[in-house]
Structure 1
Amino acid sequence: MKGRKRQILVDTEGFLVSCRVEPAGMSDRRAARSLTAGLSPLWPKIHTVIADAGYESKSLNQDLRDRNGWRLVIVKRTEQAFRIAGLNWIVERSFAWLGRHRRMSKDYEYRVQTAEAFITIAACAQMIQRIASK
């Protein structure tokens, strides 16, 4: 399906915390509110959320601070060339790991709930593979 955007929240190891599939026209700042809604009781040790420049917003920063007690850190890209800029490469790496699964290579799903379920299944399979290799 065209016109969808996958939003994921991962920890520093690249393990999935939360995922959402939103319309492509929705701003990243608005999608971040729904992505992080209800997570503070489940993840009490989160203190900082690192995001790229698409999530820069004073209202989002204030919302995360008031609702969850989290600090929003924005990592801006200074060059057009590909360079690792801060810790937001962890999310890009996680998207690449998810893309290894055939069903995740494209958005084949008709329903948003199914797309979110397959993201979760692929992330669980990835976590099991990483744990089993230790």
Structure 2
Amino acid sequence: MTVEKKIKGRKRHIITDTNGLVLGCYVGAGSENDRDGVKLALRNMVWKYSEVRKMWADMGYEGKELKMSIDEEFKIDLEIIKRPRSGCWVRKDTPVELLPRIEGGFKVQRRRWVVERTFGWLGRNRRLSKEYDLLCSSTENNIYMSLNRLLLRRFFPPN
């Protein structure tokens, strides 16, 4: 028996290339699990881009079962990009030389912000800034249309 959370809204799963251009997407209910959504997004992508062999994801998609199923079904190697450690709990009486060394400050992690940048590009479109559409498929189509608009403006800028 599967128990779903009662969360309103929608989740958008997008798969991008290293430049942030959308290869595949899936829009589903907010109560769906992230691991199920990424499989559906991969199914939407694979029939167009079958040569993809490597995929980077954040920690929301972590799990051995998901990694094995993506490897078996799509022949894609899934690598989880983890956040750098920012702090830890230690006992009061721990000697200073045994404390872990953690560098402070912000550091850009490779492959971590590509999808977030794409969501920022998509959020500039009025139809995608909020969920105006009744159907999830309409939102998916609007994602593809807004990306086409972005590419047209990038390659043929208005005078």
Question: Is TM > 0.5 for Structure 1 vs Structure 2?
Answer: yes
- TM bin, normalised by shorter chain, reads 0.7 to 0.9
Cα distance in 2 for residues equivalent to 1:77 and 1:8: 20
Distance 1:82 1:112, change over 3 A: farther
Distance 1:119 1:39, change over 3 A: closer
1:107 corresponds to which of 107, 110, 131: 131
Distance 1:39 1:21, change over 3 A: closer
Q: CA deviation at 1:84?
A: 3.0
When normalised by structure 1's length, the TM-score is 0.88
The runs of 5 or more residues in structure 1 that have no matched partner are: none
- Report which structure shows greater RCO (CA 8 Å, sep ≥6): 1
When normalised by structure 2's length, the TM-score is 0.75
The runs of 5 or more residues in structure 2 that have no matched partner are: 1-7, 87-104
Question: Identity of counterpart residues, as a percentage?
Answer: 32
- Residue aligned with 1:88, SS: coil
Aligned twin of 2:89: none
Q: Say which structure is richer in helix.
A: 1
Aligned residues: 132
Structure exhibiting the larger radius of gyration computed from Cα positions: 2
* CA RMSD, 1 decimal: 1.8
Alignment check: 8 A CA contact 2:24 2:44 kept: no
Cα distance in 2 for residues equivalent to 1:34 and 1:114: 16
Name the amino acid aligned to 1:15: L
